[in-house]
Structure 1
Amino acid sequence: MKKALQLAVFVLSISLLTSCGKTTTINSNMELTGKWQLESIVQEEDTIKKPPLQKGAFEVSLNFKEKGELEGTSSTNYLTGFYETAQQNTIQLGGGGTERAETSWGNMFVNALPSVNMYDLKPNKLVLYYDNNSALIFARAQ
């Protein structure tokens, strides 16, 4: 129920953002652009490493494209949306997808995305911060 409510709020907020008639300037960060694969999730003090890829599942990934376009895959679904960066490494992600047949790894990823608000780029590493002490840690896909 909680996941469904979070997804509904996320989709509603995207609908509101895209239907406002107000033009949003997308700040594209060239270092951020490209495909990133989720390697681990930090929730408070616990680090959860990427599990072995299950048969029929996708690599959990985000692809930051130019002009603020965002594509991705959860463990079993495709995601589309947008991103916008601003000063002091703030980031806003928006978009949607389904949660059909997600693995627990995919669920953690999908549930964290609406709360992401900061990012940090390191050599071939991207950290997306959410909920104060939590983070999604990605490696640049080759």
Structure 2
Amino acid sequence: MKGLLIPTAYVLFFSLLIGCGKTTTISSNMELTGKWQLDSIVQEDVIIKKPATTKGVMDIGLNFKEKGELEGTTSTNILTGFYETAQQNTIQLGGGGTERAETSWGNLFVNALPNVNLYDLKANKLILYYDNGNQLIFSRVQ
């Protein structure tokens, strides 16, 4: 009897996982795939615009690749990692890179990125939400 209970529990769990579409994880989202450049950050209803380009400072951006791969640039560093999206516009980002010599703009981005949990796509704009409604607002590149 005990030997039958464990396989039955696995079948039941797997059936529930498949049957409930709202929890199915999608490794990538074709509309999200591509390069995005950070335009502004909204923190506590204050809009912080992208500063003027400075020599030696990169544009901050993310490149969502197929199969859940993620690449990005901060103001002075490179990021690599992964992303996963699910229904209801949830998103999980992970990965890392160095944080050497970041500008204040770069630090805002680097500190916000691990807390992103929702996204929204609108007419070549990507909004990543974090920490109770704060936003990273990107424009599609290319």
State if a TM-score over 0.5 links the two structures.
Answer: yes
Q: CA deviation at 1:69?
A: 0.1
User: Cα deviation per residue 1:60-119 (whole Å; 9 max; x = unaligned)?
Assistant: 000000000000000000000000000100000000011100000000000000000000
- What residue in structure 1 maps to residue 122 of structure 2? 122
Whole-angstrom CA distance in 2 between matches of 1:56 and 1:27: 34
8 Å Cα contact 2:26/2:86 also seen in 1: no
Q: Say whether residues 1:133 and 2:133 are aligned partners.
A: yes
Paired AA for residue 131 in structure 1: D
User: Cα deviation per residue 1:12-39 (whole Å; 9 max; x = unaligned)?
Assistant: xxxxxxxxxxxxx652110000000000
**In percent, how many aligned pairs have the same letter?**
79
Aligned positions, number: 118
Whole-angstrom CA distance in 2 between matches of 1:45 and 1:67: 34
Q: CA RMSD in A?
A: 0.9
SS of equivalent residue, structure 2 residue 107: helix
Q: Which structure: larger Rg?
A: 2
8 Å Cα contact 1:26/1:83 also seen in 2: no
Whole-angstrom CA distance in 2 between matches of 1:134 and 1:91: 15
SS of equivalent residue, structure 1 residue 101: coil
Q: For residues 6-21 of structure 1, what are the structure 2 equivalents within 5 Å?
A: none
Paired AA for residue 30 in structure 1: M
- What residue in structure 1 maps to residue 80 of structure 2? 80
SS of equivalent residue, structure 1 residue 63: strand
Structure 1 moving runs of 4+ over 3 Å: none
- What residue in structure 2 maps to residue 20 of structure 1? none
8 Å Cα contact 2:41/2:49 also seen in 1: yes
Q: CA deviation at 1:43?
A: 0.1
In the alignment, structure 2 segments of 5+ residues that lack a partner are 1-24
Whole-angstrom CA distance in 2 between matches of 1:128 and 1:47: 14
Whole-angstrom CA distance in 1 between matches of 2:54 and 2:104: 11
- What residue in structure 2 maps to residue 60 of structure 1? 60
Whole-angstrom CA distance in 2 between matches of 1:57 and 1:112: 19
Paired AA for residue 47 in structure 1: I
